Amino acid sequence: MIKNYFVLIKEFLNKKTICFPLIFILISGMILVIFPPGSAFFQKISEFAVPIIFFYTTLGFLFFLTGNTRLVVVSFCCAAIISLFIKNFSNSEMVFATKKNKTEISIAHINLINFQGKVDSLLDLVHELDPDILCFQEVNPGWAQLLTQKLSVDYPYKATLVRIDAFGKMVFLKSAYNQLDTLYYDQIPDLDIQLSRNNQSFHVICSQIVPPFAGYSGLSSLEHLNSLSNYISSLKNPLILAGEFNQVYWSHEMRNFILQTKLNNSRKSLSLLLKVVPYEHIFFSREFECSGLEELSDNVSNHIGLFGMFQLKKEVHFLNKVKPALYQSTR
């Protein structure tokens, strides 16, 4: 009985009026994932590239059972091409560096809007990670007061931009910083913290990019990324950029940003265990090497951020350079 069903399905799929339209649909779907049109709908489809890879792979096996070679080849090829596309913008060739006697820095980036667990569990996570720098996004006045009370002993230095909208942020540090710049794209703030370790200077930038298609008074995520890219290109120092980019790193805008800034992605690949598509990323300049990266979750398994460890490859010194006009800087 089952064999008869497979025979019927095989005969159905082998019809040219069925097979060739299916091939067209499969290839069109792959192209939409890699080169999505400008609408929000297609951009969202592209974000789910990893599940789509599994979908194509599953289809390939199903077509294999029905004996349709054309559809098998097309399905597996589409899955492979999307995989290579994502791999190209992951740092797949990166080998986590062995910890050595070099300038080391660890940073935890946490988006509080995603946190749904108990506050004590967040503090326990912070103490367990023990990062040098804690970057919190979407900090409202309530969170600001609580974090200051709980973390001031271990993190006596901080940079604060508390707001009632989604763009508030706080950065806690164990050691003093050399200089703090507040960068503004329109009214959206980012923080540039200039630090020294063992006479070696570098920047840590904490950023949050305007969501695409969100309609923030005509503000553009592309223009925001270009502004940040111009600012980063003006810096001669090594830097680490931790941010909530509100886009996957293989989106068209993020691909251009990575190419323009020549920054490295701290992710070697995307974890298949994540329940959501992550929008937060940590990038680093070529003077750094990454010695570890961990996806962070709260005590109810909600993804809340990233923890990265980095070290400088060689000694560098701080050099000032004029900042581009697109970003307004206040000190």
Determine which of 44-48, 70-74, 107-111, 124-128 has the lowest per-residue pLDDT on average: 44-48
Whether 309 is covered by a domain: the verdict is yes
Report the alpha-carbon distance of residue 90 to residue 315 in Å, rounded: 27
What are the C-alpha distances in Å from 196 to residues 5, 104, 160, 266, 307? 70, 11, 20, 22, 20
Residue 63 and residue 178 in one domain:
no
Give the largest Cα separation in the chain, rounded: 77
Residue 68 and residue 124 in one domain:
no
Tokens of 231: 């600012």
Whether 95 is covered by a domain: the verdict is no
Degrees (nearest 5) of the Cα angle 11, 15, 16?
A: 160
* φ/ψ (deg, to 5) at 277: -80, 120
Predicted confidence at residue 181, as pLDDT, reads 93
The domain boundary, picked from 89, 113, 143, lies at: 89
Whether 83 is covered by a domain: the verdict is yes
Residue 139 and residue 249 in one domain:
yes
Whether 98 is covered by a domain: the verdict is no
Whether 58 is covered by a domain: the verdict is yes
- Counting residues of the chain whose pLDDT is more than 70, the rounded percentage is 84
How far from the centroid of its chain's Cα atoms is residue 175's Cα?
26
- Per-residue pLDDT reduced to its tens digit, 100-153: 555 689 999 999 988 888 889 999 999 999 999 999 999 999 999 999 999 999
| Residue ranges making up the domain that contains 218 | 104-330
Domain count, the chain: 2
Higher pLDDT, 230 or 41: 230
Whether 158 is covered by a domain: the verdict is yes
* Contact present, 169 and 161 (Cβ < 8 Å): yes
User: pTM for the full model?
Assistant: 0.82
The domain boundary, picked from 89, 118, 147, lies at: 89
Residue 114 and residue 231 in one domain:
yes
Residue 314 and residue 197 in one domain:
yes
Question: What burial class does residue 39 get, using C-beta atoms within 10 Å of its C-beta: 0-12 exposed, 13-18 middle, 19+ buried?
Answer: exposed
Predicted confidence at residue 318, as pLDDT, reads 43
Residue 123 and residue 205 in one domain:
yes
What are the C-alpha distances in Å from 140 to residues 113, 184, 304? 10, 18, 16
- Per-residue pLDDT reduced to its tens digit, 158-177: 998 888 888 899 999 999 99
DSSP 135: E
Q: How confident is the model at residue 198 (pLDDT cuts 50, 70, 90)?
A: confident
Residue 316 has pLDDT above 50, yes or no: no
Residue 238 has pLDDT above 50, yes or no: yes
Whether 164 is covered by a domain: the verdict is yes
Whether 99 is covered by a domain: the verdict is no
Higher pLDDT, 304 or 41: 304
The domain boundary, picked from 42, 61, 89, lies at: 89
CATH number at residue 167: 3.60.10.10
